[in-house]
Amino acid sequence: MKRFAVFASGYGSNLQAIIDALKKDKVSARLCLVVSDNKKAFALKRALKAGIPTVTFDPQSFVTRQAMDRAMIKELRTFHVDFVVLAGYMRILSPVFVKAFHNKILNIHPSLLPSFKGAHAIKDAFDYGVRSTGVTVHLVDEKVDHGPILAQEALSIRAKDTLRTLEARIHRTEHKMYPKIIDLFAKGKISTRRLAA
């Protein structure tokens, strides 16, 4: 069975969805470690409650981003991690890390990439006035919010939607979608298509 680590920086709702799916045997892989760059992240409490080992890497303790990423790689090797799942991890991984886990880093993004990249994708789509947005799960490469797309799901933006209701619907979609894609990825049953450069 494949072993994976989840990286999270904050509340960890996607992590909780993954933990819940694992408890129901809906993900055919073992979550062996939760990694954070924030010792106060609620995601760490979720992991501890579920009996999952955690480790925190303080960016202030490292001279460079690459140095921190090398330390994380070493820790992941200790836990025999096969692939990495980003779930609200708010730091950009360096090329050092991306190369170490080439095509083995999954990320979930709250838009239909390549549209609305960045940390405020839901608000950006809502403010722009598009009729639909959605969720993308993709492999991470050396560019931000880029890489082979594993899955996308579209959501219509309703006339009565507020930013809050749209965020809630997108998060519900993420929580259903991410565990399914992780399961398919772990089983080697998912294909990719390259985003246009």
- Taking the C-alpha atoms of residue 89 and residue 157, their distance in angstroms, rounded to an integer, is 26
Residue that has been written with the tokens 């991890």 in this structure = 89
Asked if residues 138 and 147 have their Cβ atoms less than 8 Å apart, the reply is yes
CB atoms within 10 A of CB 115: 16
Structure tokens at 105: 């880093």
Q: What are phi and psi of 182, to 5 degrees?
A: -60, -45
Helix, strand or coil for residue 153?
Answer: strand
Active site residues: 109
Long-range contacts of 146-149 (CB under 8 A, 24+ apart): 146/113, 146/114, 146/117, 146/195, 147/107, 147/195, 148/103, 148/192, 148/193, 148/194, 148/195, 149/113, 149/192, 149/193, 149/195
Q: Residue 80: beta bridge partners?
A: none
